[in-house]
Structure 1
Amino acid sequence: MSGRGILNGLVLTANRVVVGFSLWGVAAGGWSWAAETQAYVTNLKPTGQADLDAALKSSSDLLGLQGTHAVGPFALAGRVRNEYDRLKSALESYGYYEGTVKITLHRAKDKDAVVMDGQSPALSNWIESVPANEKVTADISVEKGPLYHLGSVKLVDEKTNGPAELTPEQKAAFTLKTGDAAEAETVLGAGGTLLDALREDGHALAQVEKPQAYLRPQTRTLDVVYPVSPGPVLNVGRIDVSGLKRVREPFVRRQLTLKEGQLYQPSKIDAARQDLTSLGVFSNVAVKDGATQPVNGTMPLDFTFQEAKRRSVGAEAGYSTDLGVRGGVTWTHYNLLGNAERLKLTALVTGLGGSAQQGLGYDVYADFFKPGFYSRKQNLSVRVEALRQLFWSYRQTAFLVRAGITRQIDRYWNVNFGVAGEQEQIEQFGVTRDYTIGSLPLGATFDNTEVGNPIEPATHGVRANVNISPSISLGSKGSGTSFFTIMNASASYYFDLKHLGISKPGRSILAIRGTIGSIQGAGTYDIPPDQRMYAGGSATVRGYRWQGVGPQYGRTRYAIGGTSLDAGTVEYRQRLFKSFGMAGFVDAGQVGSSSSPFTGTLRVGAGGGVRYYTPIGPVRVDVAVPLNRPHRGDKWDLYIGLGETF
């Protein structure tokens, strides 16, 4: 006898609905109109096993369909009779092959009325006799019976009918063994795991068929035989591409991480597909085997591409009480020259209503990004920018040009290097100076949070970066030439409280951030004001306006800036329901006039906020207060933006 629950999982039986009606029927107390359609309610008694109860509920047509379209008496009787097989199949899928199902029906308004057995031949007539204004109650009770376990478990070669020849690693991937509970999910899952292991070892045409199961009631065991056909070990053969229109095929082939002749491995094939998808020029990338039989010891592959729209227009907006409103528009071309080059043009208005601002400013820039710059793992980025910022600490009008190369070292590490130039005019404390600044920024980043979208909140892992920027400043009007090096580093750590067993995955997150910086080679007043270090605001210490932490000019709101910085944050993030969340945080930091960090006056802020989670990321609203507010500092600050602060 084969185990139906093991072979097919939950058996779903299609019911044939018989539509009919009767003008009247016999009810208690005399003649009364019978129901053309019969309403009913279902009570399913729990078995005490949560996963089995969930399977029984999902398998029950009586329970699942009771609130849907109306059903006639004869159709309801058929639904009741089919219910036995559905629930028995659910029991068998969990290893209970001697379980029993009992269904009884009675009129809801009269608990002392006749109780009908769900298998009674008179069930249809009884349902037909129920008056039109009354519901029928169906009570279902399930007895599990003894749990069956696996007896013998065999892997048989389909061609020889003998034992399948597998490596020790492949045998280990097949986790099924004698004595396991005879559950469908366990048995079927073992076959899928074995198939994955075979294909990952190059058996591109491997097949693991559905198991043959034999029920042994005497020993309450289930014997399982898995037919296996490993097939030959193959390498990747010819790679064909189709669907390309504006994206150039040579570029796609250069970016492809998969090469002809390497071992056929589904994990690396899918990684190559995902890598091409990340270029941002395809709405879909699909890959499939190019043949049903080996071709000279290889398996050809077919990559099919669907190109995305080349242009988009977007908006950017944010608000904080210190920096005010920042908003504008962006235009992006995603495939400028046919090699996935991205050109983004942005125009923003800044500084509207901010406590750290003296008036409106602007930020206009063009970003050019070229992937695969002389190497598949190397990208070129160029920015040309014009900006005007009217902070209380200084007023700046500047033109900047930056170019840099980012190179991927491994899965988590990237390094970057480049060159930057800036021509600016700065007014500070009533004195206006012009500066020409050149720098050679170098940096490295580490990120194992496995978050592809930068707006999506991280729930685990570490993000860290280190940057060193040797610079030269050519000043005018009393300010000479100065050489200095800006060094800074930051790290963020995300811990999911699921590891403590007190939360579901991704719902409760502890986020910690640390930042440290130093400027070497020059004193504070020898460094252009915009190159100095400042703190305050969402990037360092919330509750204090931007440039509100650090040396101030007397008892005014004018910040001098410093040559060292250190700051830290501890933040707790809690998701609520499906789309909402909340956060609480404490920030602390200081800016010093010495090049050594951990000097200056430590400022501490605390606050909390709410989150609304959208498909593109959370909308964040935070309020923070300073715990040791300086003279003329803000009493509180509000921050609104898209995505978490870090």
Structure 2
Amino acid sequence: MLNRLALTANRVLAGAALWGASSCLSWSWAADPQPYTTKLVPTGEADLDTAIKSSSDLQSLQSTHAVGPFALAGRVRNEYDRLRTALESCGYYAGTVHITLSRNGGKDAVKMDGMSPALSQWIESVPTGEKIQAEVKVDKGPLFHLGTVTLVDDKTGQPPVLTDAQKKAFGLSSGQPAVAKSVLDGGSNLMDALREDGHALATVEKPKAFLEPTTHTLNITYPVTPGPVLNIGKIDTTGLKQVHEKFVRRRMTVQEGQLYQPSKIENARQDLASVGVFSNVTVQDASTYAVDGTMPLDFSFKEAKRHSVGAEGGYSTDLGARAGGSWTHYNLLGNAERLRLTALITGLGGSAQQGLGYDVYADFFKPDFLERNQNLSARIEGLRQLFWSYRQTAFLIRGGITRPLAKNWNGSFGLMAEQEKIEQFGVTRDYTIISAPLSVMFDNTGVGNPIEPATHGVRASMSITPSVSLGNKGSGTSFFAILNGTASTYFDLHHLGISKPGNSVLAFRGMVGSIQGASTWDIPPDQRLYAGGSSTVRGFRWQGVGPQYKNTRYAIGGTSLDAGSAEFRQRIIGNVGMAGFIDAGQVGSSSLPFTGKLRVGAGGGVRYYTPIGPIRLDVAVPLNRAPRGDKWDLYIGLGETF
């Protein structure tokens, strides 16, 4: 009897935690398929009901796998074992299963114990086309609890020496419910804890279990072999072709001689995969035994394609359409560098545009510049923009370094030089501008993709850009500093219990800017502050908020700016959503923000969510329209506005 109970317990612990894994049975169909319906009587315990539903072939196969009378009888008999396994997986080792088959709405009923040879004959007697009703009811019986819980070192036969953290991870003790999943999880948790403490060769075998029906307890014994504490040994790399091994080894966050810890090894793998030049990165132990007190590792790489071609486009009624393409070369010099060449046609229509323009640039990105996690970026750009406010032709060179400062904090600094010709209000001037932007960014939204919508957290940035505009044709020399601050926050209404996670989100944004050191007319037009458009106040065209030249549609620009937005984002069904928003902002001629004429716009739009981000279509109207301003504006783009 004890051996049978031990075998039963071990069978349950080995398989019942799966709660209803499907069995593969082959049946010969007898006569015509017999239709039936299944009713599972609730037990009053949610986890057990879930296990029974998952295990029941009678219910899961009734509409998808029709069978004849003989096969249906076999399915009924098999149901008993499946549901007993479900009971035992939840700690009910003395439960019973009752299956009642009836016809004619229950008037002609027969109760079967699953072993009667008359079962298939009764099913065959049912008239063709008439459904059988199968009612499945479970008597749980007493809940079994853990009795003795024993850990034994397979090599010494003695209890293994465990730390308090390892004992806590194991988490099993006498008296707790004998649920199979908890028992099996205890072993895997102990295994993880041992390996995290350097026991790279630790083994925790499946437990041996023994039922004690008289005391309703389950005694378990876990064979455990901790093995020695090991450090990381020799690290081999395979699969590198174009990527330099020196770069990979400098990038690695684990080194030979460190304590073997799977979590840190996995973090190192994920970090290497994030560099952008590998399609796959794997890591595994390189030995099945200790090598001089260490465990060697093998990192395997599969390099991604080195070239890609992309398209870019967007449309708004103020800036018109922009369209173009890009070509990207990855791993340019063998150290994960990236070169991207982009060419765009801009100003295809639009109420803020006077004609076609272009934007052509080359971006260079080098990760781990001089030290790890310090990235270098550089751009060479030529552009032409024909706004109503000014007409600009410019050549720019900029470079900068970005690096983390603390958790969720990053900083950047750089240099920029710009040579430009600007025509404004009938006057043409040349400018040579040199600036040194410095900024600090905070982001705890947990969103890595910049166009993926955030649902919680805060994004904020502050920047100061000291600049000098050197005397040139038609212009004098001026010194000024541009100060900007932006913050946005997101609140998921799921926290109030009124929506599913990520379905209903409130988003808020605020920004403030000021230029110190020079007056409006001493600052090159493209360096002044403007508002209007999707980035500030929707419903007003680009540069449509702020001082206007002689009451025309030509914006002068200002030396102060402040703006705010509130937006509600709602997923409706599937990949379709909507948004409603209100924006407000102003631009002033003083260096102090919160001066000027406040303009307010409001609107709404639809969203179509794709794997790379939402496609956005918004329509906005001004609530206090500016002279000669747009009556409404349409914006189409990829990603949310903030």
Could you tell me which amino acid in structure 1 is paired with residue 209 of structure 2?
A
Correspondence 1:278 to 2:274? yes
Task: Provide the C-alpha distance between the structure 1 equivalents of 2:243 and 2:135, rounded to a whole number of angstroms.
Answer: 63
Q: Partner letter of residue 143 of structure 1? A: D
2:443 maps to what in 1?
Answer: 447
Establish whether residue 557 from structure 1 lines up as the match of residue 553 from structure 2. Answer: yes
Q: Distance in 2 between matches of 1:507 and 1:176?
A: 39
Q: Which residue number in structure 2 is paired with residue 216 of structure 1?
A: 212
Match of 1:508 among 497, 504, 510: 504
1:250 CA drift (Å) = 1.6
Report Cα offsets for 1:207-244 as digits up to 9, x if no partner: 22223333333333333333322221111111101111
Partner of residue 259 from structure 2, selected from 253, 263, 271: 263
Residue 184 of structure 1: how far off its partner (Å): 2.7
2:94 maps to 1:94:
no
Question: 1: distance between equivalents of 2:96 and 2:565?
Answer: 59
Q: Is the 8 A contact 1:173 1:197 kept in 2?
A: yes
1:307 CA displacement: 1.0
Change in Cα spacing, 1:98 to 1:571, as seen in structure 2 (3 Å) is: farther
Structure 2: how far apart are the matches of 1:572 and 1:610?
Answer: 12
State the distance in 1 between where 2:166 and 2:151 align.
Answer: 11
| Match 1:5 to one of 3, 12, 15 | 12
Distance 1:628 1:99 in 2: 73
* 1:272-297 CA distance string (max 9 Å, x none): 11111111111100000111111111
Contact 2:549/2:556 (<8 A) preserved: yes
What residue number does 1:19 align with? 28
The residue aligned with 1:462 is 458
Instruction: Spell out, residue by residue over 1:373-420, the C-alpha distance to the aligned partner (whole angstroms, 9 max, x if none).
Output: 222222111111111111121111111111111223344222212111
Q: Relative to structure 2, which stretch is displaced further, 192-201 or 341-350?
A: 192-201
Partner of 2:336: 340
Q: Distance in 1 between matches of 2:219 and 2:568?
A: 51
Question: How many residues are aligned here?
Answer: 632
2:99 counterpart residue number:
103
Q: Which residue of 2 aligns with 1:27?
A: none
- Once residues 177 and 556 of structure 1 are traced to their aligned partners in structure 2, the CA distance between those partners, rounded to angstroms, is 81
Equivalent AA in structure 1 for residue 489 of structure 2? Y
Greater mean alpha carbon deviation, residues 533-542 or residues 156-165 = 156-165
SS of the aligned residue for 1:169 comes to helix
Distance of aligned partners of 1:177 and 1:620 in 2 relative to their CA distance in 1, 3 Å threshold: farther
Alignment of 1:195-214 (within 5 A): 195-214=191-210
Match 1:598 to one of 590, 594, 597: 594
**Structure 1 residue 322: Cα displacement:** 1.8
Q: Is the 8 A contact 2:605 2:616 kept in 1?
A: yes
Report the equivalent of 1:589.
Answer: 585
**1:531, distance to aligned residue in structure 2 (A):** 0.6
Shift of 1:477: 4.2
Choose from 490, 493, 497 the match for 2:493.
497
Q: Which amino acid aligns with 1:261?
A: G
State how 1:130-149 maps to structure 2 within 5 Å: 130-149=126-145
The aligned runs of 1:429-440 (5 Å cut-off) are: 429-440=425-436
In structure 1, distance between residues paired with 2:324 and 2:498: 42
1:397 corresponds to which letter in structure 2?
T
Among 89, 97, 110, the alignment partner of 1:115 is: 110
Alignment partner, residue 638 of structure 2: 642
Tell me whether 1:75 sits opposite 2:71 in the alignment: yes
CA spacing shift, 1:478–1:459, aligned 2, 3 Å: same
Whichever residue aligns with residue 19 of structure 1, its letter is S
Q: Distance in 2 between matches of 1:102 and 1:88?
A: 11
Specify the SS of the correspondent of 1:409. strand
- The equivalent position to 2:628 in structure 1, one of 627, 632, 638, is 632
Distance 1:13 1:433, change over 3 A: closer
Could you give the per-residue CA deviations for residues 590-630 of structure 1, whole angstroms, max 9, x where no partner exists?
Answer: 22211122222222223322221111111122222323222
- C-alpha deviations, 1:50-105, integer Å up to 9, x for none? 33323222211122222224423222211111111112222222223333322222
What secondary structure, in the 3-state scheme, does the structure 2 residue paired with 1:86 have?
Answer: helix
Task: Tell me if structure 1 keeps the 8 A contact 2:544–2:629.
Answer: yes
Partner of 1:28: none
Question: Quick one: percent identity of the two aligned structures?
Answer: 70
Tell me which amino acid in the other structure corresponds to 1:5: V
Q: Which runs of 5+ in 1 are unaligned?
A: 22-34
My pick for the range that moved more, 169-178 or 430-439, is 169-178
User: 539-548 or 278-287, which moves further after superposition?
Assistant: 539-548
Q: From the superposition, tell whether residues 224 and 585 of structure 1 become closer, same or farther in structure 2 (CA, over 3 Å).
A: farther
| Superposed counterparts of 1:142-157, under 5 Å | 142-157=138-153
Q: Distance in 2 between matches of 1:621 and 1:144?
A: 56
Letter paired with 1:315: A
Cα distance, 1:493–1:210 mapped onto 2, change above 3 Å:
farther
1:22-37 equivalence runs, <5 A: 35-37=31-33
Q: Aligned to 1:554, what secondary structure does the other structure show?
A: helix
Q: Residue 252 of structure 1 aligns to a residue in which SS?
A: helix
For 1:40, the equivalent position in structure 2 comes to 36
CA distance in 2, matches of 1:161, 1:574: 61
- Give 1:596's aligned amino acid: L
Matched residue type, 2:328: T
Q: Does 1:85 align with 2:92?
A: no
Alignment of 1:129 onto 2:136: no
Task: Provide the C-alpha distance between the structure 1 equivalents of 2:555 and 2:231, rounded to a whole number of angstroms.
Answer: 64
1:154-185, Cα deviation, whole Å (9 max, x unpaired): 43333333333111222222333344333233
CA contact 2:29–2:67 (8 Å) conserved in 1: no
Superposition map of 1:478-493 within 5 A: 478-493=474-489
Q: CA, structure 1 residues 261+621, in 2 after alignment: closer, same or farther (shift >3 Å)? A: same
Asked whether the equivalents of residues 428 and 474 of structure 2 are also in contact (C-alpha less than 8 Å), the reply is: no
- Residue identity in the other structure for 2:264: K
Report the counterpart of residue 225 of structure 2 in structure 1: 229
The TM-score, its normalising length taken from structure 1, stands at 0.93
3-state SS of paired residue (1:173): helix
Which moves more between the two structures, 51-60 or 359-368?
51-60
SS in 2 for 1:195: helix
The separation in 1 between residues aligned to 2:386 and 2:533, in whole angstroms, is: 16
For 1:118 and 1:424, locate their aligned partners in 2 and report how far apart those are by CA, in whole Å: 91
For 1:512 and 1:202, how far apart are their aligned partners in 2? 46
Distance across 1 between alignment mates of 2:485 and 2:513:
6
- Match of 1:377, SS state, is coil
Matches of 2:95 and 2:602 in 1, distance apart? 59
Selected match of 1:168 from 164, 167, 180 = 164
Q: Is the 8 A contact 1:7 1:212 kept in 2?
A: no
Pick from 302, 309, 312 the counterpart of residue 316 of structure 1. 312
1:561 offset after TM fit, Å? 1.0
CA–CA distance in structure 2, aligned partners of residues 123 and 520 of structure 1 = 93
TM-score (norm 2): 0.93
Contact in 2 for aligned 1:15/1:78 (Cα 8 Å): no
The amino acid across from 2:58 in the alignment is: L
Q: CA deviation at 1:116?
A: 5.1
Contact kept in structure 2, 1:13 and 1:86, CA below 8 Å:
no
Q: 1:548 aligns with which of 525, 537, 544?
A: 544
* Alpha-carbon spacing, 1:127–1:275, altered in 2? closer, same or farther (3 Å): same
